[in-house]
Amino acid sequence: RTAKTPKLVQICEKWKHKTAEGVPELLRQDRDKDIYILSMFPYPSGVLHIGHLRVYAISDALNRFYQLKGYNVLHPMGWDAFGLPAENAAIERQVDPSEWTAQNIAKMKEQMKSMLANFNWEREITTCSPDYYKFTQMIFLKLFKHGLAYQKEAEINWDPVDKTVLANEQVDAQGRSWRSGALVEKRLLRQWFLGITNFAAELKHDLRYLKNWPSKVKSMQNNWIGESNGAELKFATNDPDFPSIEIFTTRAETLFSVQYVALALNHGLVAKYALTDASLQAFIKKAELLPEDSKDGFLLKGVYSRNPLTQEDLPVYVAPYVLKDYGYGAVMGCPAHDERDFQFWKTNAAGIPVRRCLDVLPGEEEAGELPFTSKDAVMSDSTLEYRGLYSAEARKQIVQKLHSQGLGRNVIQYKLRDWLISRQRYWGTPIPIIHCSHCGPVPVPEEDLPVLLPKVTGLKSKGNPLSQIPEFVDVNCPTCKAPAKRETDTMDTFMDSSWYYFRFTDPENPKLPFGSENANKLLPVDMYIGGVEHAILHLLYSRFIAKFLGSINMWDGGLLKNEPFKRLITQGMVHGKTFIDPESGKFLKPSELRHVSNPEEPVLIKATGAKPIIRYEKMSKSKYNGANFNDCISKHGADATRAHILFQAPIEDVLNWEESKIVGIERWLVKLLSLTSTISNRGKFDVNYTTPKDLKQEEADLHATVQKLIKSITESFEVYISLNTVISDYMKLTNALDTAAKKGLVRDALLMHSLKKLVAVIYPVAPSISEEATEIINKAQNWAWNQYRWPTCEPVIEPSTLKYQIVVNGRMRFMLTAEKDFSKCDMETILSRLLSLPEGRKYLTNRKIKKFISKNNIISFMLAK
Ligand code: ANZ
Ligand code: ZN
């Protein structure tokens, strides 16, 4: 470790207060340009990890860049504070979850300050605070009013020992409760849902407006929504209670090869027969536990369904492979052209030949074994009037024909399901509903919000604590005043985070979640930065809520169709260095390793002296590869740490964290400061210096390099958001000035002029060093200059003099500095100038010139022997 490192730490400490406020308010230039930069708010677990350091280093660099550009930057921070970990801590340690959360927030806020993240703390929000969840409840009530919040039965994970509902994350891969170890049961429970599927089409189609989202994220959203264009077809039955079965198909042209109809376990027709058929009941019970790809089936004897196109009567099966909540929970089975149907038919109707209706395209090789599943095919001879037609055309004509007979129509299906928000847990936003036996579910009147979460002492793992508090549960119906029961479910925490970016635009509004004027002015978020692990749910729920709030005129998302996030930046994970014993395959602790000063094999295993396997992996306690946020900052200072993490990898890539590589950054920062002193002490300069027109070639070259790098840095921030290139450009710029300062071929005033630009452009990443450099300059120059303005790119200046190479008989003999057009002069003029110089006389006196060439900056003579 160099002796200079502690100095960087001290500099950060020295400027702590100034760097915390960002560009001073009074100096921000053009206050009517707004920009909203948001990093995903964290869960207050108690510690920030290196992954957080990465996100906030990115968002704060962008924040400070736009401050220098004169923007009014909204860069807020808050806490996604409801959820299971606080509840678990409360159960385990018998602490109040709100206190536990508050302590964690305090610790993490300190860490954010120590990394110099400049947030709008005056707008801080915490989702578990009644001032916030009051409005989460208000938004729920608006959804309720519009029919978008409703109750229905749904399967939950039930722990029969603890007698409690478990979240999916609390059930292990073997289907056991994480706490009691009991085998988890599926139970039906009435639960609250939000009608996100009403927005499925918009959520899918508006993805096209998100030009600045990573395409990977858009396609993940697209797949999750899962739009499927097909047809609803009616198969008549011989059952008077169910005169027809509706099925969903994307392949209506395969109707000629349909051999059966299969129904999901919960289909209405199945329910009817199960009432009287014990063997069917037994089958359903068994099948509920089978995986989705199971090919089991149960034939409903005596029931037939009629193919609407061929009028053929077909058998009807009950099959677990038919999904309960997709389409109509019913399929038409085409063994010849669908893999799943083929397997089902083989299992359940062995021996009955498969009937095909599609052939390969003309000129293609016959597909061989069935099933033949290509969607690009032609109708076979067996299909009468459709024979020879391409699948797509036949599909269209068949649906048209069935439509005219009232037996079919085109429909779009989505894979997306409504959002189950009920949680039978304590630490969440209470659902503001009162159940009345006369009036049904009644919304809590707005003036009674928030429905406060009651304080609970001695939280236990069994059951939902809210349902055990009579003062909470027993209330009067707001409508008829009769005794009624309060809803005891709380909301999924994704509900809290689905609208927090609205609240930041108007965090103190006492009446509304936010005022529309503020939201319209500041939203959509210009840049949203966070982990790709939120690519689906959080972003989809946020898009849904933003669109819903737009649909009821709570804000106007304008051209972006109520999309909340204009640009999405997903940062890659941070991996830590792991050491593995090659013999046992075990992860090694730092204490089991010995560091030696051999650059080839710097680390050895203490016990065996062998070389460990080194890999970078996701940081985790069990791999001993975590890195400590506080350590890094206290050893190297915030500036170096920020620059290091930004430099190590492009934003979207995985970053292999290796603290020791920070030395490169430290060397650069130390060099920058010493260069600043050197140039500052070379004389007194005009604070308003502008680049003169008469530059020597060396000066013009440096000037051009500086402008090129400033342009590149600006574009990296503004266009590409490529912050690792920003750091490498900082280094190039520093080196260019350092070299020029050492060579002494550039006038010092120009060096100072360029240095000021460097000091300004590093501010977004290294604000303390930028302050320190400014102070060095101001002290030496007796200036009151500040660096809080993004430098302009000056036009390139043609040098007024050039350096010419004088070549004699093919060898470069000496250099000459002369005016720009010197090489265009005639030979006599050039020669007489050269002969006035000692080197010229040495090579050219009294020599006969055979050939003379003068081009660009090369002047060449061939002499006669
Ligand atoms: C007949 C057919 C023939 C089908 C063929 C496919 C190939 P996507 O594209 O994912 O939407 N299907 C419909 N409802 C279902 C349910 N509840 N559970 C399981 N499968 C269901 O898939 C649409 C296809 O999935 C539909 O088209 C239907 O099978 C099946 F050669 O109908 B198809
Ligand atoms: Zn009532």
Q: Would you state the pLDDT for residue 378?
A: 96
Q: Which pLDDT score, from 0 to 100, does residue 29 have?
A: 63
Nearest atom (ligand 1) to Cα of 254: 3
Task: Please answer whether residues 447 and 236 qualify as being in contact, where contact means their C-beta atoms are separated by less than 8 angstroms.
Answer: no
Nearest residue (CA) to ligand 1, atom 10: 228
Q: How far is the CA of 416 from the centre of ligand 1 (A)?
A: 16
Residue where the block lists tokens 């290139």: 725
Q: If you measure from the C-alpha of residue 323 to the centroid of ligand 1, how many angstroms do you get, rounded to a whole number?
A: 10
Statement: residue 308 has pLDDT above 80: yes
Amino acid sitting at position 778: N
18 vs 771: CA distance, rounded Å: 8
Between CA 256 and CA 314 the distance in angstroms is 12
Report the amino acid identity of residue 651.
I
> What mean pLDDT do residues 466-483 have?
96
Per-residue pLDDT band for 657 (boundaries 50, 70, 90) equals very high
Per residue in 808-825, pLDDT (tens digit) is: 999 999 999 998 889 899
DSSP structure class, residue 510 = S
**Cβ–ligand 1 contact at 333 (below 6 Å):** no
Give residue 250 CA to ligand 1 midpoint distance, Å: 6
Distance, CA 679 to ligand 1 centroid (Å)? 74
Q: Which two tokens stand for residue 473?
A: 């549960």
pLDDT at 1: 44
The yes or no reply on domain 660-781 and CATH 3.30.30.10 is no
Domain range 801-863, CATH architecture = Roll (3.10)
Please tell me the distance from the alpha carbon of residue 356 to that of residue 444, in angstroms, as a whole number.
Answer: 59
What are residue 174's phi and psi, to 5 degrees? Answer: -85, 5
What pLDDT, on a 0 to 100 scale, did the predictor assign at position 30?
64
**If you average pLDDT over every residue of the chain, what do you get?**
94
For ligand 1, atom 12, which residue shows the shortest CA distance? 331
The response to whether residue 323 sits with its C-beta less than 6 Å from ligand 1 reads: yes
Higher pLDDT, 172 or 571: 571
Kindly state the percentage of the chain with pLDDT values over 70. 99
Taking the C-alpha atoms of residue 461 and residue 89, their distance in angstroms, rounded to an integer, is 11
Pocket flag, ligand 1, residue 337 (CB < 6 Å): yes
- State in Å: Cα 480 to ligand 2 middle: 4
Tokens 């003029």 found at: 829
* Residue 374 beta carbon below 6 angstroms from any ligand 1 atom: no
pLDDT band at 5 (very low <50, low <70, confident <90, very high): low
- Give, in degrees to the nearest 5, the angle at Cα 429 between 424 and 434: 75
Residues of the chain with CATH 3.40.50.620: 33-127+497-571
Query: How far is Cα 9 from Cα 638, in angstroms, rounded to an integer?
Result: 8
Which one of the ligands is nearest to 439 CA? 2
Residue among 233, 245, 338 to mutate when testing ligand 1 (max atoms within 8 A of CB): 338
Distance (Å) from CA 310 to ligand 2 centroid: 54
* Core vs surface per residue 404-431: b (16+ CB within 10 A) or e: eeebbeebebbebebbebbbbbbbbbbb
Q: Could you tell me the distance, in angstroms and rounded to a whole number, from the CA of residue 442 to the centre of ligand 2?
A: 7
Q: Which residues pair with 605 in a beta bridge?
A: 593
Spatial CB neighbours of 811, under 8 Å, sequence gap ≥ 6: none
Q: Ligand 1 pocket: which of 251, 305, 337, 339 to mutate (most atoms <8 Å of CB)?
A: 251
Q: Is 357 in the pocket of ligand 1 (CB under 6 A)?
A: no
Q: What pLDDT is recorded for position 126?
A: 98
Note every long-range contact of 450-456, with CB atoms under 8 Å and residues 24 or more positions apart, other chains counting.
450/130, 450/133, 450/134, 450/137, 451/137, 451/486, 452/130, 453/130, 453/133, 453/426, 453/427, 453/428, 453/429, 453/490, 455/96, 456/426
- The ligand whose atoms approach the alpha carbon of 443 most closely is 2
For the beta carbon of residue 2, count every other beta carbon within 10 angstroms: 11
Q: Is residue 628 over pLDDT 80?
A: yes
Q: Are strands 149-159 and 849-855 parallel, antiparallel or unpaired?
A: unpaired
Q: What is the sign of the dihedral through the CA atoms of 281, 284, 288 and 290? A: positive
CATH class of 227-414: alpha beta
Question: Of all residues in the chain, what percent carry a pLDDT higher than 90?
Answer: 81
Q: Are 732 and 635 in contact (CB under 8 A)?
A: no
Average pLDDT of span 302-310: 97
Ligand nearest to the CA of 377: 1
Q: What is the pLDDT of residues 231-264, one digit of tens each?
A: 999 999 999 999 999 999 999 999 999 999 999 9
Predicted confidence at residue 129, as pLDDT, reads 98
60-70: average pLDDT = 96
Pairwise pLDDT comparison (263 vs 95), residue with the higher score: 263
Q: Is 334 in the pocket of ligand 1 (CB under 6 A)?
A: yes
pLDDT tens digits for 412-463? 999 999 999 998 889 999 999 999 999 999 999 999 999 999 998 888 777 7
Distance of CA 530 to the CA centre of its chain: 4
Give this complex's ipTM.
0.98
Q: Domain 574-633 has what CATH class? A: mainly beta
Handedness of CA 313, 315, 318, 321 (dihedral sign): negative
Res 702 pLDDT > 90? yes
Residues of the chain with CATH 1.10.730.10: 660-781
| Spatial distance between the Cα atoms of 446 and 693, rounded to a whole number of angstroms | 70
Alpha carbon of 419 to ligand 1 centroid (Å): 23
Least distant ligand from the CA of 344: 1
Range in 155-159, 206-210, 458-462, 761-765 the model is least confident about? 458-462
User: Nearest ligand, CA of residue 246?
Assistant: 1
Whether the CB-CB separation of 702 and 740 falls below 8 Å is answered with yes
**Parallel, antiparallel or unpaired: strands 34-39 and 72-74:** parallel
> Given this model, what pLDDT does residue 372 score?
95
Instruction: Return the best residue to mutate from 227, 246, 249, 317 for the ligand 1 pocket (most ligand atoms within 8 A of CB).
Output: 249
Q: Which of 209-218, 442-451, 455-464, 671-680 shows the lowest per-residue confidence on average (mean pLDDT)?
A: 455-464
**248 within ligand 1 shell (Cβ under 6 A):** yes
Q: What is the mean pLDDT of residues 385-400?
A: 96
Nearest CA to ligand 1 atom 33: 249
CA–CA gap between residue 57 and residue 665 (Å, rounded): 15
pLDDT at 529: 98
User: What superfamily does domain 33-127+497-571 belong to in CATH?
Assistant: HUPs (3.40.50.620)
More reliable by pLDDT, 690 or 620: 690
Question: Among candidates 42, 44, 80, 91, which has minimal Cα distance to 426?
Answer: 91
528 and 539 Cβ atoms separated by less than 8 Å: no
356 C-alpha to center of ligand 2: Å? Answer: 60
Return the best residue to mutate from 331, 334, 402 for the ligand 1 pocket (most ligand atoms within 8 A of CB).
331
Two structure tokens written together for 392: 């797509």
Per-residue pLDDT tens for 9-34?
Answer: 999 999 999 999 999 987 776 667 89
Cβ–ligand 1 distance for 338 under 6 Å, the answer yes
CA distances to 80, 361, 852 from 241, rounded to whole Å, are 51, 43, 107
Greater model confidence, 770 or 598: 770
Residue holding tokens 């430290």?
Answer: 666
State the ligand closest to the CA atom of 228. 1
pLDDT single digits (tens) 581-608: 999 999 999 899 998 877 777 899 999 9
The CB of 250 under 6 Å from ligand 1? The reply is yes
Q: Where in the chain is the domain with CATH 3.10.20.590?
A: 801-863
Which residues 6+ apart lie within 8 Å of 17 measured at CB? none
| pLDDT for the residue 130 | 98
Do residues 426 and 459 make contact, with C-beta atoms less than 8 angstroms apart? yes
Neighbours of 845 (CB within 10 A): 9
Q: In the prediction, which pLDDT does 33 show? A: 87
Grade residue 291 by pLDDT with cuts at 50, 70 and 90: confident
- Tell me the CA–centroid distance for residue 144 and ligand 2, in Å: 17
* Ligand 1 and 257: CB distance under 6 A: no
User: What tokens were used for 609?
Assistant: 């002296």
- Chain-centroid distance, C-alpha 561: 20
Q: Where are the beta strands (DSSP E) in 341-439?
A: 358-359, 378-379, 408-414, 419-420, 422-423, 433-436
Q: Which ligand is nearest to the CA of 373?
A: 1
Helix H, strand E, coil C: the string for 196-262 is HHHHHHHHHHHHHHCCECCHHHHHHHHHHHCEEEEEEEEEEECCCCCCEEEEEECCHHHHHHCCEEE
Q: Angle between the 5-14 and 767-781 helix axes, to the nearest 10 degrees? A: 80
What phi and psi values does residue 459 have, to the nearest 5 degrees?
-60, 135
Intervals of CATH 3.90.740.10 along the chain: 227-414
